[in-house]
Amino acid sequence: MSELHDRFRAASASAEPVFWRVPETPAQTLRALADFAEEHGIERDAYGQRGAVAQLEAEVAELLGKPAAVMFPSGVMAQQATLRAWCDRRASRRVALPDLSHLLHHEQDGPRRVTGLELEWLTTGRETPTAASLAAVPGRLGAVMVELPLRDAGCLLPSWDDLVGLSAAARERGVPLHADGARIWESVPHWGRTLTEAAELVDSMYVSLYKGLGAPSGALVVCPEDLAADLRAWRQRMGGTLFSMTAAAVGGLVGLRAYLDDFGAYRDWAIALAAELRSHGIRTFPEEPHIGTFLAYAPGVADEVNERVVAHAEQHGVVVSPLWGQSEVPGWLVAELSCYDAALRHDPADVAEQIAAVVA
């Protein structure tokens, strides 16, 4: 970690954030979880059974209209277990997925080395999946996976019609369609659809408890009852059936009540910010954000721009943007902007002006 990163982290600890959420201390987080558990009479789980975990699984399964849900300590484990379970049923380890998938870029080659999956590209680059994408992958497949949204492409979502078409094509081919729905809570406002309508298009879906919902950790997979039994077995094989997951489960219960109705407002604020940034010569992708998170591009030198970002936070007590990195275009920088409840306290025009002043 460089000195600049250390300064940015130190400044961020006491400065007012414009993006994400106002940070809490560990004591504040644990106190809030304890207060909620006491107020609602939440009981602890034991090895992922009963108590808070069972309550959360039931609530999330109902919310997404699936027969069952299984909690995991992490999304990495949840998705690898789910894909392996589907592949075992199909007697094929081949999985078609985007080449920008989280599984390929952030999991140390785990899908291949841990669960023995063979990966094929459903899409490449900033491309959203369609029925034609699946048709272009020949041979027997154990599963197909879509990432909703595709985070490394700027949180890009397929059109609703394309997603419906992909779902129909997978079912016609007899291949299970699994969704990385870590940010599905944030995605449905883009389509004007409900969580249940989105989940109906897939055979299983992973959802995150901390991305968007703000829990300390944790993930769930919604799926058919028989697959849930397989997932519980894989969770134990992979060391994920912890003695207790109560704290994470309570965090999920809190997040469902605190944030589920807010994601449309985050998206609207992000769209307004992106428009203001473009008026200052800063490009955005998608041009109109699909969710509250998107990519911003500006010309510049990373060290110089980031020095100004950090200095602004130190001098004014406001973190106006994350640190910027080199983009795929020489001479241009990129930053991921995530608009949550902290953003709603600010005027998008004012924020865009501050960002432009820091980046210019």
Per-residue pLDDT tens for 15-73?
A: 888 887 877 889 999 999 999 999 999 999 999 999 999 999 999 999 999 999 999 99
CA distances from 360 to 112, 290, 301, 333 (A): 43, 26, 10, 11
| Per-residue pLDDT tens over the stretch 296-305 | 999 999 999 9
Burial class (CB in 10 A: 0-12, 13-18, 19+), 138: exposed
Q: Answer whether 75's CB lies under 8 Å from 135's CB.
A: no
* Average of per-residue pLDDT across 223-243: 97
- Domains along the chain? 3-24+262-359 (3.90.1150.10), 42-257 (3.40.640.10)
Pick from 230, 192, 183, 244: which is nearest to 85 by CA?
230
Position 23 scores a pLDDT of 77
As a whole number of angstroms, the distance between CA 156 and CA 336 comes to 13
Cβ atoms within 10 Å of 255's Cβ, excluding its own: 22
Question: What is the distance of C-alpha 315 from the center of its chain?
Answer: 32
Which tokens sit at 172? 């016609």
* Lowest mean pLDDT across 19-23, 100-104, 330-334: 19-23
Question: Quick one: which of 339, 30, 85 has its CA closest to 206?
Answer: 85
Give the tens place of pLDDT for each residue, 198-220: 999 999 999 999 999 999 999 99
For 279-315, how does the pLDDT look when each residue is reduced to its tens digit (9 = 90+)?
Answer: 999 999 999 999 999 999 999 999 999 999 999 999 9
The reported pTM is 0.95
pLDDT of residue 1: 58
